[in-house]
Every structure is written in C-alpha cells, then in structure tokens.
Amino acid sequence: MSRLNLDDFTDLIERPDGGVRRDAEARRERQNVPPGALGRLDELGEWLAAAQSAVPVRPIDRPRVILFAGDHGVAELGVSARPAGGARELVRAVLEGASPVSVLARRQEVPVRIVDMALDCAPDAFPEDVVRHRVRRGSGRIDIEDALTLDEAEAALRAGIAVADEEADSGTDLVVLGDISVGGTTAAAVLIAALCGTDASVVTGRGGLAIDDLAWMRKCAAIRDALRRARPVLGDQLQLLATVGGADLAAMTGFLLQCAVRKLPVILDGVVAAACALVGQRIAFRAPDWWLAGHDSGEPGQAKALDRMALEPLLEQGVQIGEGAGAVLALPLVRSAAALAAELPERPEPEKEPESEPRNEPEKRPEEPTE
C-alpha cells in the first residue's frame, strides 16, 4: 500500500463558493422578511447556498447519519461509565432501533449507517455492511502503547475516505457525523489537548454517562500519560492518530476531509467528531468551512476544539449521550433554514411612474402689423 500523502488535501479542498454566498445574501435582502429577523437561520441558508453552489438553496432531501464504531483499550482503566469493550451493545441497540439516535432519526425519516472500525467482538457479530471496513479488533491502550500501527492508521483513514465517496456517489446531500465508542472521549481529549497545547485537566470531561470523581481522576491521569506520548509526533497527523487516536477516529478524520473534497456538508456531533475535525483542520485549513457544529455536549474538550475552528454550536440542549443524537436534533434547524431561504417570496419591485411627455404647444404665428 503506497503511503498516503495528507498534504494533497490542502490542494484538493476548496472553500464554499463565495460568489454564490454573496448572491444568496443579495436575495435575502430582497425577501419580504427583514434581514436579521430570522437570526442564525439566515446565516445557515447562506452557508448552504455556498456549499451547494446554488441560489435558491435546494432542499435537504437525502441526509444520512453516519456513526463510526470502535472500542478503545484505555477503557480498561475505568475511565468510562460503560464497561471496556461494551460498544458492541450500543451498536446492537442502534441496529435494533432502540437507541436515542434511532428514535430521532426514525422520526425524521433519516437512515442511519454504522461503520465498524475496531469493535472488540468477532466480525460475524454484525452484518457485512457494518463490518466490511473494520481495521482491527479494539484499539491499543494509548497511555502506554500506540492505538494502531502506522499501516492500520492509514487503512482506517482510507476507509473513511471510501465511506465519504460512497455517500457522495449515492446522492447523500448532508451528513450527521457521530461515533459509537467506549473510551473514545478519552482519545479525543488527548488529540484536542495536544493540538491546542493545553493540559489534561482542561479537556477532561465526564463522558455521556457522567462518571464520578474517582473515574474522572483516572481519566485525567490517562490523558496526561497519553499526552506525553502524543507531543513528540505532533508534526505528523497520521502518526498522531496511530499513537493516541484509534481506528474509528482515524476513519472519521479521513471521512471529514473527503467530504470537504466532495463538497458534502457535515454536521458534527460531540467531542469525538470535534477532535477528528481538529485533526482535519491541521491537515487542510479550509476543511472546516464545510462543517457545522450540531450542539454543545458540555464536554470541555469539544468547546476547546470548536473554539479553535471558529465553529459555534447550533443547539445547547445538554445532550451528553453521544452516538449522533445531539447533532440529529440540529438537522430540522438546517432543513428549516434551507426551506426559508428558498421559499420566502421576494418583495415586488415598486412600479415606476411613467414619465410625462411634454405637451406640444400650438405654434404661435407672428402678429400681423395693423394698418
């Protein structure tokens, strides 16, 4: 396998069309609701116009939820409220329609796709379309060992690229991106702390099920130890993902970058998606222009990453469960912005009064001289 050159993404990724965005802004000025009266919906509509290169905006007809799944060896330290290797149960709940994201997506008639990258279970535990991109069984314990080999990290990143191409080729017009993992928020916090140059305590959150103080301290210590291993490889993003990331995080990074190449907009879910986006930004600085932050999960690492990318969450509902649920809640907002931008009528042009024609005065004859 030839080594992947991540620098190519810098040349391949273009910004959304600025000229189209200006056209969308001008159209908004002509609509019969005053500009600014719809708040961030105006901004969202203009962003979508630029991303689609279309005025008026096309409706979001074929969105999809994509969830990358994996188990992380660091979960053995008790850094999560869920048991190590327990991500397979979360995947099963989604497939059976019994998880929050399943309920929300079903209500909005949005399909959910799960991509197993490193679940700690036999590959035959799930259908072929779920497991066909799997790189390995579980990722390494990042406080003492690499999450992946360099070849595995590249294979995972390539898998994410392939999934993005599959979605773009199938007509998906918007992606809600999330993860299903146990220990994933720990790896995400390490990436964010390393890339933002901050300490472990600043980015250590309590996860989706709110771990207690002792678990938080164990998590903080694991992040601190992994950070020591991450800092020497900060200049090489693929090596960074191999050292302290994981197969699911590497795949999400490749997926995000290729979505930007294919001009496919993405709504990011929680801290794991934010961490992968931050790695993507380091690889290709224009890539975040194609992404939206769906919601504020309350994780300090997510807030740090979004601030670095200048992305403001669309919603603040306190949803901490992960698995794409918070970002799915933002989807109706984005669809509403598209509908308003496209369907609000424009003000009629004021009718011009016809110019009055000058009256033709009767020609005066010279007076005849009197005798």
Q: How many domains does the chain have?
A: 1
Give the HSE-up count for residue 194: Cα atoms under 13 Å, Cβ half-sphere: 32
Q: What pLDDT was estimated at residue 318?
A: 84
Residue 353 maps to a domain: no
- Mean pLDDT per block of 10 residues along the chain (371 residues) reads 82 95 93 89 95 95 97 94 92 95 96 97 93 96 97 97 98 97 95 96 82 91 96 96 98 98 97 97 97 94 96 91 91 96 83 62 57 48
Q: What pLDDT was estimated at residue 358?
A: 59
Question: Measured between alpha carbons, how far is 83 from 79 in angstroms, rounded to an integer?
Answer: 9
Residue 29 maps to a domain: no
Residue 165 maps to a domain: yes
Residue 44 maps to a domain: no
Residue 51 maps to a domain: no
Residue 357: left (phi > 0), alpha (psi -120 to 50), or beta? beta
Is 357 considered catalytic here?
A: no
- The DSSP output letter for 31 is B
Q: In what order do the strands lie in the sheet with 266-268?
A: 112-118, 63-71, 174-182, 266-268, 291-293
Q: What pLDDT was estimated at residue 1?
A: 47
Beta strands in the chain (DSSP E): 63-71, 112-118, 174-182, 266-268, 291-293
Residue 340 maps to a domain: no
The CATH number of the domain holding residue 76 is: 3.40.50.10210
Residue 233 maps to a domain: yes
Residue 11 maps to a domain: no
Question: Measured between alpha carbons, how far is 42 from 271 in angstroms, rounded to an integer?
Answer: 26
Q: Which residues contact 113 (CB under 8 A, 6 or more apart)?
A: 64, 65, 66, 67
Longest dimension (CA), the chain: 130
Catalytic residue among 167, 323, 357, 371: 323
Q: What pLDDT was estimated at residue 353?
A: 63
| Cis-peptide into 369, omega within 30 deg | no
Q: What pLDDT was estimated at residue 108?
A: 94
| Three-class secondary structure of residue 180 per DSSP | strand
Whole-prediction pTM: 0.91
Task: Identify the domain containing residue 97 by its residue range.
Answer: 61-333
What is the identity of the amino acid at 2? S
Q: What pLDDT was estimated at residue 123?
A: 87
